[in-house]
Structure 1
Amino acid sequence: MRQETRKTRRKEIQQAALALLVQHGYAATTMASVAKAAGASLETLYKWYGDKPGLFRAMVQANIEELRDELVMSAAAFRDPLAAVQEFGPRLIAVLTSEEVVALNRAAAADPSGDLGRIIAEAGRGSIAPQLTDLFARAMEGEDPAQVTEVYLGLLLGDLQIRRVIGRMPPPDAIETRERSDRALELLCRLYPACPSKPPT
């Protein structure tokens, strides 16, 4: 199978899995039901994903990989690491409050095993946070960069994801994500003396 064709097919399978996840929850969504809904063979699913956790890990990673690449590109494009963080902030908000990620988080909250929640934490936050930590280490010498990352993510996201998951707000628009990102960095620099006196503009 050609690479482009396989990429399209994987996307179709993952969309089918997401639809079943929203309708039935993580525990009741099986590899067999995904194969049937996607019109794919069970053999193909096991070959490509290994098992059900592997399938849903791939779904989370599909959202995160593009984000991670954008963060790497921002870090390379901006001499000032805080400028890279500022550029990346709106995209992070947009992805984490998107309909697909909200659906995954709703399913994780309803999964008594906690398996889906662990997958999301490992493949999502566990992939992005270390790169942010590296940027903060370069920007704020003498501070604990891991702690700075935690504080920044709290300022950036607040309760946005929770409000999206419980259906109390629509996805924020581009203006709101930009304003929230700028404000988060401004507040962060007030909290940490090692931060440059004025965040990038």
Structure 2
Amino acid sequence: MNSIDKPVGRREKIETAAYAVLEEVGYGPASMLVIAKAAKSSNETLYKWYGNKQGLFCALVEANAAQSRQLLEAALQSDSEPLAALARLGPILLRMVTGERAIALNRAAASDVKDTATLGPAIAKAGRDTIAPLLGAVIGAAIAAGDLIAVEPAEAAEVYISLLIGDLQIRRVIGVLPVPSPQDIAARATRAQMQFLRLYQSPNKEITT
């Protein structure tokens, strides 16, 4: 059954319960039965809708990616200038990848490596499918506008992601960093934008943030 075929209220209740169970007991003990009880739903319903535990958590990955894509697309629609759009995307992207749900899913994927190894590829695919095309389109528009030097947009997008995120997400996953404050996110996004422009901005353009 596709997510669009599930009653929205029940689906959200189940998926919220799955995150709560994941936070409380970790991925290994987070069985379908435990999640069903937490959601006040039946175990049969969870298996009918998601197939198995991995299917449920892959559905969480897909839902999180869809929400992220909506936020990024809304940010792009708010600015007609490509570099202004890139500056708006930075903080949103940082909040996405360092937020509690993204970190919980990445921790689950690490736990799943020796089990089914399905969550890691699902997260990687959803992340790339969400982020890379949008960033590539923005960078391509900036190149067309003469704001950036001629460069392969996809490669430049990878550089931007590295400058923006670096090892921040993995350090959150292993528990050595708390959720970044809004001030920290804004400062890091501004720094990444400046570093990116030093690499790629057209010589006849002033570096802007």
Q: TM-score range by the shorter chain?
A: 0.7 to 0.9
Equivalent in the alignment of 2:97: 96
Give the partner amino acid of 1:186: M
1:96-143 per-position Cα deviation (integer Å, ceiling 9, x unaligned): 111221111112112223211111112233222211111111112531
Percent of matched pairs sharing the same residue: 44
Structure 1 unaligned blocks of 5 or more: none
Equivalent in the alignment of 2:138: 135
Instruction: Name the CA distance, whole Å, in 1 between partners of 2:128 and 2:97.
Output: 10
What RMSD in Å do the two structures reach over aligned CA positions? 2.5
Q: For residues 57 and 194 of structure 1, do their structure 2 counterparts lie closer, same or farther at Cα, with a shift above 3 Å needed?
A: farther
Equivalent in the alignment of 2:168: 160
Q: Using the TM superposition, name which of 119-128 and 131-140 deviates more.
A: 119-128
User: TM-score w.r.t. structure 1 length?
Assistant: 0.84
Instruction: Name the CA distance, whole Å, in 1 between partners of 2:60 and 2:67.
Output: 12
- Residue 68 of structure 1 deviates from its aligned partner by 1.2
1:2-53 per-position Cα deviation (integer Å, ceiling 9, x unaligned): x9x9333222211222233342425x54434432332212343244434433
Q: For residues 98 and 196 of structure 1, do their structure 2 counterparts lie closer, same or farther at Cα, with a shift above 3 Å needed?
A: farther
Give the partner amino acid of 1:158: G
Q: Using the TM superposition, name which of 44-53 and 9-18 deviates more.
A: 44-53
Q: Using the TM superposition, name which of 58-67 and 148-157 deviates more.
A: 58-67
Equivalent in the alignment of 2:147: none
Instruction: Name the CA distance, whole Å, in 2 between partners of 1:125 and 1:80.
Output: 23
Give the partner amino acid of 2:39: A
Pairing 1:105–2:113 present: no
Quick check: 1:56–1:119 contact (8 Å CA) kept in 2? no
Equivalent in the alignment of 2:156: 148
Give the partner amino acid of 1:135: V
Instruction: Name the CA distance, whole Å, in 2 between partners of 1:79 and 1:195.
Output: 22
User: TM-score w.r.t. structure 2 length?
Assistant: 0.82
Q: Using the TM superposition, name which of 175-184 and 29-38 deviates more.
A: 29-38
Q: Using the TM superposition, name which of 60-69 and 176-185 deviates more.
A: 60-69
Equivalent in the alignment of 1:9: 10
Q: For residues 196 and 155 of structure 1, do their structure 2 counterparts lie closer, same or farther at Cα, with a shift above 3 Å needed?
A: farther
Q: Using the TM superposition, name which of 136-145 and 50-59 deviates more.
A: 50-59
Give the partner amino acid of 1:18: Y
Instruction: Name the CA distance, whole Å, in 1 between partners of 2:93 and 2:71.
Output: 10
Quick check: 2:68–2:130 contact (8 Å CA) kept in 1? no
Instruction: Name the CA distance, whole Å, in 2 between partners of 1:196 and 1:115.
Output: 47
**Quick one: which of 179, 183, 199 aligns to 2:187?**
179
Say how many residue pairs are matched: 197
SS state at 1:79 partner:
coil
Moved over 6 A (4+): none
- Residue 91 of structure 1 deviates from its aligned partner by 1.4
Pairing 1:83–2:84 present: yes
